[in-house]
A and B are shown apart, each in its own frame.
Chain A
Amino acid sequence: MAFLSYLISGISLGSIYAIIALGYTMVYGIAKMLNFAHGDVIMVGGYMAYMATTEFGWSPLPSTLFAMAVCTLLGVLIEQFAYKPLRRAPSLAVLITAIGVSYFLQNAALLLWSANPKSFTSVVPFGTLRLFDGRLIISGTAMFTIIICIVIIVGLSAIVHRTKVGKAMRAVSEDRDAAQLMGVSVNRTISTTFAIGSALAAIAGVLLSSAYPILMPTSGAMPGIKAFTAAVFGGIGSIPGAFLGGILLGIIEILGKAYISTQLSDAIVFAVLIIILLVKPTGLLGRKVLVKV
């Protein structure tokens, strides 16, 4: 029973990683860049929801929508001003710029909200579930997070595979120049991708802050790194891969904490990642790159 409850909290944490990883993987797949500032957009999402609930006194749903709106705008603006001018630049230049954006967001947050942790009020609408005479306790946050994650992955798959925007995204991801020739607006598609990814980051920020209600300017950094790891784990660029990678990472982290060592849980997560990559050098669901000579 203990195992089951660990497993559920693992899946719940993994769901948050998965939502963040989706943002990483979509941007990577379509804009071919590692958006290191993605983790900090999560943090901004957290603060926005915090402001909305505690300062404006809004209820959870509008607060979350507000956070999503702000993050979407932020994501699009970042893309416009920092990344778009570097479309043809070496990927490392874009990476460093993304790091600059990450520093910027963290330090702006530091100025606006100070380093003192803010305690976040959970947005989760339902309470704890007790099963088997109270031997299995599932927190409302865990259930809510998992449900939201499933909704998102279904919704995102529908967008990518059923809509015109999704078709454009797949085309740009396959071959940017060819897509351009076929009349797809590459710039607009990349913007849309950033918008979606950032909206997801806001949701992740709200969920993360609900589960771990301490909010700081650096709150997004570690989940960002972990989610990036999850995306690579699953095969970067692959949406099902990000989902799978996120969930697995969450499970490994929680089980590692429970059964091996609380302090070494991060080391365990990263060690498993290295082992997985040794066996599958392009991640679990990543496409093998074919080099034609």
Chain B
Amino acid sequence: MRRLFQEKTTRNNTVTYLMVIAAYVLMQLLLSGGHISSALQGQLVPITAYIVMAVSLNLTVGVLGELSLGHAGFMSVGAFSGVIMSFLLESQIASPGLRLLLSMIIGAIVAGIFGFLIGIPVMRLQGDYLAIVTLAFGEIIKNVMNTIYIGLDAEGLKLSMSSSAALNLVEGGKTIINGPMGAVGIKKLSTFTAGFVLILITLFIVLNLINSRAGRAIMAVRDNKIAAESLGISVWRYRMMAFITSATLAGAAGALYALNYSTVIARKFDFNTSILVLVFVVLGGMGNIRGSIIAATILTVLPEVLRAFNDIRMLAYAVILILVMLARNNARLKRLFGQIKGIFTRQQAVVNIEEGGDSLD
């Protein structure tokens, strides 16, 4: 057992898994005891979806080091394709769990394909120009999903860009996506347990990726593109890999999220949602997966907790956000935190040596 914990990263990752599992078990206990308000119960699946969103965005922003302002676009793509899949499977598969699983897989795959497609222009750009293309992508998806009508009848899937009437559905057919009204008549399939499992899968993928050859290459690209290339690492390939993986996971989260409601509109996945998830990532710490999980949870629950101060709660949220950012970047506070941390962690795996430290002979 001791051996397992020797490597700092392994120990760190184990703590993350244990934390998630413990939180899940605790919630289940509280739920069965009837201690959870119905408002919070309604938040459970969204929280798990946002955790997956935050962890996957951290792969792009923290691990790859590129700012994405359109992560909700991938969530949207996953949500709507997942919903369509769930309708298609409704008459084929009896088990709701299996239907949810297949819908999430489809949501993930479709979002992954979009990740690749948007990745083509994105990979050619740098910095803020890259960010604006992800923003543009998110807005395009929102806009297009707002004007699309999709129906399902005995003849199969039908698409229209003008109205649901134009779908010409035959007897017994139903509209799945109704333009600005979004996806309607969804059968609720998502459960808290499904969300929990998706978090575990996401952690497994992201943490193992980071601690492997491909993950190191991604971080090399983040730290220094020219050096990475000079060592035979294809910058395009690894940026794309991180970007697609991130999009795929967001797609799964989108399907999970959408299948938790009876209707879902495209505006749910707009720029503000992308920004919200970005806030989770930055507050949780760049590249810090556990931090993303904690930040996503707290910041999703916080507005609920602040509901008591109904009028000013969002104002309070904004003020807290600003103050936290200021405090985190305050040199004096940082030093203080460092000292406190130093008391508790006697041995550090990554040691910092002061400039001009001892020579090597």
Chain A residues engaging chain B, CB cutoff 8 angstroms: 28, 34, 82, 85-86, 89-90, 92-93, 95-97, 99-101, 103-104, 107-108, 110-111, 225, 228-229, 232, 236, 261, 263-264, 266-267, 270-271, 273-274, 277-278, 281-283, 289, 291, 293
Contacts and interface: CB of A to CB of B under 8 A. Distances in A.
Interface string B134-171: 01110110011011000000000000010000000000
Contacts of A95: 67
Contacts of A270: 135-137, 139-140, 143
B207 interface: no
B68 to A, nearest CB: 11
A267 B138 CA distance: 10
A293 B147 contact: no
B275 interface: yes
B311 A264 contact: no
B87 to A, nearest CB: 24
Given A104-B318, A108-B315, A267 B135 contact: no
Looking at chain B's contact residues, the main secondary structure is helix
B128 A229 contact: no
A83 B222 CA distance: 26
B126 A289 contact: yes
A3 to B, nearest CB: 24
B317 interface: yes
A92 B67 contact: yes
Given A95-B67, A100-B318, A225-B139, 11 more contacts: A93-B329, A96-B283, A97-B322, A99-B278, A103-B317, A104-B322, A261-B161, A263-B143, A267-B143, A281-B129, A289-B126
B282 interface: yes
Q: Which 3 A-B pairs have the closest CB atoms?
A: A270-B136, A103-B318, A104-B318
Given A97-B322, A110-B314, A111-B311, A34 B137 contact: no
Given A93-B282, A111-B315, A281-B129, A103 B321 contact: yes
Contacts of B241: none
Nearest to A283: B129
| Interface SS, A side | helix
B225 to A, nearest CB: 9
A291 B137 CA distance: 28
Nearest to B125: A281
A66 B137 CA distance: 38
Interface string B120-138: 0100111011001101110
A267 B140 contact: yes
A103 B137 CA distance: 23
Q: Which size bracket describes the interface of B in this complex?
A: 35 or more
A293 B322 CA distance: 37
A93 B314 CA distance: 20
Given A96-B321, A99-B321, A267-B144, A273 B61 contact: no
B128 A236 contact: yes
B279 interface: yes
Contact of B133 (A101, A110, A264, A274): A274
A92 B147 contact: no
B325 interface: yes
Contact of B325 (A96, A229, A264, A273): A96
Nearest to A36: B275
B318 A107 contact: yes
Contact of A263 (B146, B311, B315): B146
Contact of B322 (A101, A281, A291): A101
B310 to A, nearest CB: 11
A278 B144 contact: no
B326 interface: yes
B312 interface: yes
B271 interface: yes
B325 A277 contact: no
B129 A97 contact: no
Contacts of A99: 275, 278-279, 321
B40 interface: no
Given A232-B128, A236-B128, A281-B126, A291 B226 contact: yes
